[in-house]
Amino acid sequence: MRRPIILLAAAMTLVCLLAATAMAATTLTYANFPPATTFPCIQMEHWKEEVEKRTGGALAIQTFPGSTLLGAKNMLRGVQTGQADIGCISLPYYPGVFPAMSVLNLPVAFTSTKVASLTMWDVYQKHRPAELGDVKVLTLFTSAPSNIMSKEPVRQLSDLKGMELRASGSILNILAGLGAQGVGMPMSQTPEALQKGVVKGLVSSFDVLKDFNFAELCRFETITNMPVYPFAVIMNKACWDALPDDVKKTLDDLGREQAQWTGEYLDKHINDSLAWSKEQYQVEVFTLTEAEHEEIRVKSAGLVDEWKGEAAKAGLDADTILNDMLAFKAKYEA
Ligand code: 3IO
């Protein structure tokens, strides 16, 4: 009497389980190193929303801002080994690892984040460097051109003498040439370094004045138009390979669009951040003379040759990569 009911219940449970498995959204984890308020995380949330919408919920993204899953320096390895499915890396944090794409970190005076981000996307699409061959690149973007934010005024280049400033990548070399004391560390460690007085300021884009509240401590800003920091959003290769083709296409279609969205967001946010900092903390903004900008250019020029040497050593056609970057930059600036 009872046996058929039990069998029926068991069969129904099985059917439900199978149906649920077939319909269940795949959830991917996405790790990021800076806090949720900062632009790399704003773009992450935008990407998540777009992906969930465009896949009709077939793909769900679980985001982990603020180094809660992976930090700035173990992000690359963590994605390669699958500790996170997706991660966001700042390329200058990995010296020597990205000999081709570090071309975006050279002192070529980008005029906007949008131009730099789209240029980065095009350089990657054209050259597909082996350095990113063991991960899937989902999108690419850069920070805005870098400026000095400091606790003491840098009214002229000579004020930099001996000043400890946090930076990463090529900017450290430029600071050395200008007589400052560059201190290399990820952005996520900078609040503590500023708080403790380990550094007197930093060189990065102005979004951080508001998003990290650095304007409270760094009341003096100097426009230097130094290099941008290139970023990559990467996915574990095996995880990518396991996605259905239609989902892959949706993500591929989003890559360039996302680079442009992030560039436009940051260009606008830089202005908001600076206006907020003036209003909130009466920060002072200094500009340099044309002669001083020329001095920065002259003292930074060696970096291009240094990059070429490193790229050639890695077996890359350095001149072509550099010239392509400059051509893409000119195209987007036109
Ligand atoms: C950056 C990094 C993390 C959060 C906000 C940010 N704004 C600009 C940058 C670039 C930078 O300084 C870096 O270290 O990647």
Q: Which amino acid is at 133?
A: G
pLDDT digits (tens, 9 = 90+) for 22-35: 456 899 999 999 99
Residue 259 scores a pLDDT above 90: yes
Measured from the Cβ of residue 84, the count of other Cβ atoms closer than 10 Å reads 24
Q: For strand 284-287 and strand 220-226, is the pairing parallel, antiparallel, or unpaired?
A: parallel
Element (H, E) at 149: strand 146-150
Establish how many alpha carbons lie within 13 A of residue 5's alpha carbon, considering only the half-sphere containing its beta carbon.
2
Mutate to test the pocket of ligand 1, among 38, 75, 202 (most ligand atoms within 8 A of CB): 38
Measured from the Cβ of residue 155, the count of other Cβ atoms closer than 10 Å reads 13
Cα 204 to averaged position of ligand 1 atoms, centre (Å): 6
Q: What average pLDDT does the segment 160-167 reach?
A: 98
Question: What span, in angstroms and rounded, lies between the C-alpha atoms of 306 and 120?
Answer: 20
pLDDT confidence of residue 3: 57
Closest ligand 1 atom to residue 41 Cα is 4
**pTM passes above 0.80:** yes
Residue 288 scores a pLDDT above 50: yes
Nearest Cα residue to 228 out of 95, 108, 86, 140: 108
Question: What span, in angstroms and rounded, lies between the C-alpha atoms of 61 and 47?
Answer: 9
Nearest Cα residue to 206 out of 31, 36, 39, 13: 39
pLDDT band for position 258 (cuts 50, 70, 90): very high
**Residue that has been written with the tokens 């949330």 in this structure:** 45
> Tokens for 248?
């892959």
pLDDT confidence of residue 10: 53
ipTM here: 0.98
Query: What is the average pLDDT value for the chain, to the nearest integer?
Result: 94
Q: What share of the chain is helix, strand, coil (3-state, %, to 5)?
A: 55, 20, 30
Q: What average pLDDT does the segment 282-292 reach?
A: 98
pLDDT confidence of residue 25: 83
Q: Are 112 and 131 in contact (CB under 8 A)?
A: no
Which residues' Cβ are closer than 6 Å to ligand 1?
34, 38-40, 90, 143, 168, 186-187, 204-205, 207-208, 229
Q: What average pLDDT does the segment 314-332 reach?
A: 98
Q: What average pLDDT does the segment 238-265 reach?
A: 98
Cα 1 to averaged position of ligand 1 atoms, centre (Å): 69
**Sheet order of strands, 86-90 included:** 59-64, 26-31, 86-90, 230-236, 135-142
Q: What average pLDDT does the segment 159-181 reach?
A: 98
Closest ligand 1 atom to residue 202 Cα is 12
Residue 300 scores a pLDDT above 60: yes
> Tokens for 88?
């966001």
pLDDT confidence of residue 1: 44
pLDDT band for position 224 (cuts 50, 70, 90): very high
Cα 8 to averaged position of ligand 1 atoms, centre (Å): 59
Dihedral sign, Cα of residue 91, residue 92, residue 97, residue 99: positive
Nearest Cα residue to 207 out of 187, 193, 182, 189: 187
> Tokens for 168?
């990463």
pLDDT digits (tens, 9 = 90+) for 12-62: 444 434 444 445 689 999 999 999 999 999 999 999 999 999 999 999 999
Closest residue by CA, ligand 1 atom 2:
187
Task: Please state the φ and ψ torsions of residue 243, each to the nearest 5 degrees.
Answer: -75, 145
Cα 14 to averaged position of ligand 1 atoms, centre (Å): 50
pLDDT confidence of residue 48: 98
Residue 231 scores a pLDDT above 70: yes
Question: What span, in angstroms and rounded, lies between the C-alpha atoms of 204 and 177?
Answer: 17
